[in-house]
C-alpha cells in the first residue's frame, strides 16, 4: 500500500471507529451524569489534576521521539520501555504516599483514597506507551480504535452498574481504572513486539535529547489545560469544578472525534515528509482544511444547541454548564485549525518551538485567570478561550516560517467552512426561535435542527466550493479501495 493510501485509510477508518467510540463514551458519560452529582465529577476532576502531573513525568516525550525517528531499532524500544515502566512504578508509589497532602490542600478528605487508587493508572499507562508508539508508526489506527472501544465498553458498563448501586464517586474511579487496564491488555494482544532485558545509555540519551523539549512542553501544557481545573477546584470549589469538567468533557469528546484522530495520524505522516517541504506543506494544508470542514459546523452547532444538549442528555441538575459549553465551542473553532501545529514542529525537529509557544499560552492563561476568577466560572472560561486567540498569530508565524506558507494562503482555505457555518448558524438559530415559540420539545429541536443544519451546511459548501466536494469524494474512494495508488 502506498504512503498516500495508507494515510487516507488511516484517517478514514480511524475517524469512523473513533466516532463510534466517542458516541458510546458520550452515552456512558450522559448516563453517569444523570446518576451522579456535580460534586462527584468535581472530586474526580481534582484527582485527575494530580494524575496529570504524574503523567508528565511518566512519558518524557519518548512516544513522540519514537514516532518521529526515521530509523528505529530494538535497542531504542527496549530502553524506552524499561525507562517508562520504572518511572510508572515510581509515580504510582509517589501518588499513593502524597495523596493525603493533596487532599488536605483542597480540604477534601475523600480525595485521599480517590487519588491513591487513580495513581495506579501511572503503572498501567507505562505498559502501553511503546506499544502505542509502534502502532502509530505503522498507521495501525484501526487497532488503536478497537483498543479504545473495548476499554470504553467494559469500563463504562462497570461504572454505570456501580453508579446504579449507589457507589457515587467510586463509579468514576473504577471506570477509569478498568478502561485503562482493558485497553492495555488489548494493546499487548494485538502487538507482536515484546521487550528484551536490555537498556542502553546511548539510546536513552538520544531519546532524552529529543524528548526534553516535549517534556518541557507537557509541563507547560499542564498549566494550560489543567491549571484551570486546579484553580477552579481550589478557589471556587468542587461543585463549580464539576460543571466545568462536564463542559470540558463534552468539548474533549467532540475534539477527539473531529480533530484528535487526524492529529494522531499527522505526526507519523508529517515525519515521513520532513525532508520534502513542498509535500509536507500540501499535507498540512489539506489536513487543516478538511478538519475545518467538519469542526467548524460541529462546534458552531454545539454552541447553538447547548441548552438542548444539556437537557436531553444530562438533566436539569447540569443547567449551569450551558454557558460554559457554548464558550468552549468558540475555542474548538480555533483549535481545529491549530491542532496540527505541534505535529509540524515535532516532525520538522523543532520541539523547542512547541515548548516556547506553550510558555506563551501559559502566561496568557495565568494572567487571564487572575483577572477573571473574582467574576465566577463563566468569566474564567472566557479567559481560557481568549488566551488561545491571543497566541494564534505567534503559532501561525512559526508555521509560515517552517512551511513557507503565507497568511493569505493559510486563511483562504478556511473561507468555505467559515461561510458555510455562518449560514448554517443563522438558519438553525431562526428555526430555534420558531420551535421555542411553538413549544416544541428539546429532543425534537435538537434532532430536527441538527439534521436540517447539516443539510444547509452541505448545500452551502457545494455552492461555495464544489471542488472541495469532489476532493472529499475522491478521498472516500481511495479509503474504500483496495487498489494500490502511486504517490
User: What's the CA gap between 190 and 439, in Å, rounded?
Assistant: 52
Read off the DSSP letter of residue 285.
H
Contact between 431 and 452 (Cβ < 8 Å): yes
- Mean pLDDT along residues 114-128: 94
* 340 located within any domain: yes
In the chain, the number of structural domains is 1
Contact between 118 and 51 (Cβ < 8 Å): yes
The most confident of the ranges 72-76, 125-129, 216-220, 470-474 is: 125-129
* 486 located within any domain: no
Report the pLDDT value the prediction gives residue 229, as an integer from 0 to 100: 84
**260 versus 334: which is more confidently predicted?**
334
Read off the DSSP letter of residue 483.
S
- Mean pLDDT along residues 369-387: 89
One-character DSSP codes across 51-92: HHHHHHHHHTTHHHHHHH-SS--HHHHHHHHHHHHHHHHHHH
Residue 226 in grid coordinates? 489543567
CB neighbour class for 392 (10 Å; exposed up to 12, middle 13-18, buried from 19) = middle
Looking at 165-200, list the stretches that DSSP marks H as alpha helix, in order from N- to C-terminal side: 169-190
Report the pLDDT value the prediction gives residue 482, as an integer from 0 to 100: 45
pLDDT at 487 over 60: no
Report the pLDDT value the prediction gives residue 138, as an integer from 0 to 100: 72
pLDDT at 486 over 50: no
Read off the DSSP letter of residue 36.
S
- Mean pLDDT along residues 355-361: 82
Domain carrying residue 86? 3-480
* 485 located within any domain: no
Mean pLDDT of the chain: 82
Residue position matching grid coordinates 477573571? 372
CB neighbour class for 366 (10 Å; exposed up to 12, middle 13-18, buried from 19) = middle
pLDDT at 448 over 50: yes
pLDDT above 90 as % of the chain: 32
* 487 located within any domain: no
pTM over 0.85: no
Report the pLDDT value the prediction gives residue 483, as an integer from 0 to 100: 43
Report the pLDDT value the prediction gives residue 160, as an integer from 0 to 100: 95
pLDDT at 192 over 90: no
pLDDT at 144 over 50: yes
pLDDT grade, residue 168 (50/70/90)? very high
Amino acid at each position: 500500500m502506498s504512503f498516500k493510501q495508507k494515510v487516507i485509510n488511516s484517517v478514514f477508518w480511524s475517524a469512523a471507529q473513533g466516532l463510534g467510540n466517542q458516541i458510546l463514551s458520550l452515552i456512558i458519560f450522559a448516563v453517569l451524569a444523570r446518576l451522579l452529582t456535580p460534586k462527584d465529577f468535581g472530586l474526580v476532576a481534582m484527582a485527575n489534576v494530580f494524575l496529570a502531573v504524574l503523567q508528565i513525568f511518566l512519558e518524557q516525550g519518548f512516544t513522540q521521539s519514537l514516532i518521529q525517528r526515521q530509523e528505529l531499532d530494538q535497542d531504542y524500544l527496549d530502553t524506552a520501555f524499561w525507562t517508562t515502566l520504572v518511572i510508572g512504578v515510581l509515580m504510582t508509589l509517589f501518588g499513593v504516599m502524597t495523596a493525603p497532602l493533596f487532599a488536605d490542600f483542597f480540604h477534601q478528605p475523600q480525595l485521599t483514597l480517590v487519588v491513591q487508587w487513580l495513581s495506579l493508572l501511572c503503572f498501567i499507562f507505562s505498559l502501553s506507551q511503546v506499544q502505542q508508539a509502534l502502532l502509530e508508526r505503522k498507521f495501525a489506527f484501526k487497532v488503536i480504535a478497537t483498543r479504545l472501544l473495548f476499554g470504553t465498553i467494559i469500563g463504562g458498563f462497570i461504572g454505570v452498574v456501580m453508579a446504579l448501586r449507589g457507589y457515587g464517586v467510586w463509579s468514576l474511579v473504577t471506570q477509569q481504572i478498568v478502561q485503562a487496564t482493558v485497553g492495555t491488555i488489548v494493546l499487548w494482544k494485538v502487538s507482536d513486539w515484546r521487550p528484551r532485558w536490555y537498556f542502553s545509555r546511548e539510546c536513552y540519551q538520544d531519546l532524552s535529547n529529543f524528548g526534553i523539549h516535549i517534556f518541557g512542553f507537557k509541563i507547560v501544557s499542564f498549566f494550560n489545560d489543567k491549571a484551570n481545573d486546579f484553580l477552579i477546584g481550589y478557589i471556587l470549589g468542587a461543585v463549580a469544578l464539576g460543571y466545568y469538567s462536564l463542559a470540558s468533557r463534552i468539548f474533549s469528546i467532540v475534539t477527539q472525534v473531529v480533530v484528535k484522530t487526524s492529529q494522531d495520524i499527522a505526526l507519523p505522516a508529517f515525519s515521513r515528509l520532513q525532508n520534502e517541504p513542498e509535500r509536507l506543506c500540501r499535507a498540512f494544508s489539506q489536513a487543516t482544511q478538511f478538519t475545518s470542514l467538519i469542526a467548524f459546523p460541529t462546534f458552531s452547532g454545539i454552541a447553538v444547541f447547548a441548552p438542548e444538549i444539556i437537557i436531553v442528555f444530562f438533566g436539569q441538575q447540569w443547567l449551569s454548564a450551558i454557558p460554559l459549553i457554548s464558550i468552549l465551542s468558540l475555542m474548538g473553532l480555533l483549535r481545529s485549525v491549530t491542532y496540527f501545529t505541534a505535529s509540524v514542529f515535532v516532525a520538522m525537529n523543532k520541539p523547542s518551538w512547541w515548548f516556547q509557544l506553550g510558555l506563551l499560552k501559559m502566561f496568557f492563561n495565568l494572567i487571564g485567570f487572575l483577572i477573571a476568577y473574582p467574576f465566577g466560572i463563566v468569566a474564567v472560561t472566557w479567559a481560557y478561550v481568549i488566551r488561545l486567540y491571543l497566541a494564534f498569530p505567534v503559532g501561525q508565524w512559526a508555521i509560515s516560517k517552517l512551511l513557507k506558507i503565507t497568511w493569505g494562503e493559510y486563511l483562504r482555505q478556511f473561507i468555505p467552512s467559515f461561510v458555510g457555518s455562518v449560514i448554517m448558524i443563522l438558519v438553525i438559530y431562526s428555526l430555534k426561535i420558531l420551535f421555542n415559540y411553538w413549544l416544541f420539545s428539546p429532543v425534537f429541536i435538537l434532532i430536527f435542527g441538527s439534521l436540517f443544519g447539516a443539510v444547509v451546511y452541505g448545500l452551502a459548501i457545494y455552492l461555495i466550493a464544489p471542488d472541495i466536494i469532489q476532493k472529499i469524494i475522491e478521498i472516500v474512494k481511495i479509503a474504500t479501495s483496495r487498489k494500490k495508488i502511486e504517490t
